[in-house]
Amino acid sequence: MKIWLDDLRPVPEGYEGVKSVNEAIALIEEAERDGIEIEVLDLDHDLGDYYCEGGDGIKLLDWLAERETFYPIEIHTSNPLGRANMERLIARYWE
């Protein structure tokens, strides 16, 4: 399964789309329960109106790091500061 976290951009073919961190967590937990492999998480940083449902995309990285679940990550945000913060977190825990 490939998961696309974004509140505005269209979901690319072959991805499961979610708009909030809480929705992403629920989908990840469901996939894990069902034994579905998670190939990649492709993340936006700024989640607009969906911020109130778990925070910005970096909060998903925090959750994954806390539980030591290091799925492959791609970042597609256009927020340069958000991208830098997400990349710093990935460099610290994923690599």
Report how far residue 87's alpha carbon sits from residue 82's, in angstroms, rounded to the nearest whole number: 9
Report how far residue 79's alpha carbon sits from residue 71's, in angstroms, rounded to the nearest whole number: 22
Report how far residue 30's alpha carbon sits from residue 23's, in angstroms, rounded to the nearest whole number: 11
The band of 95, judged by pLDDT with boundaries at 50, 70 and 90, is confident
The pLDDT tens digits for 27-82 are 999 999 999 999 999 999 999 999 999 999 999 999 999 999 999 999 999 999 99
| Number of independent structural domains in the chain | 1
Q: Which stretches of the chain are assigned E, i.e. beta strand?
A: 2-5, 16-18, 40-43, 73-75
Domain CATH number, residue 36? 3.40.50.2300
Q: What is the pTM of this model?
A: 0.95
Identify the sign of the CA torsion 38, 42, 45, 50.
Answer: negative
Quote the tokens at residue 75: 């970042």
Q: What is the span of the domain harbouring residue 17?
A: 2-93
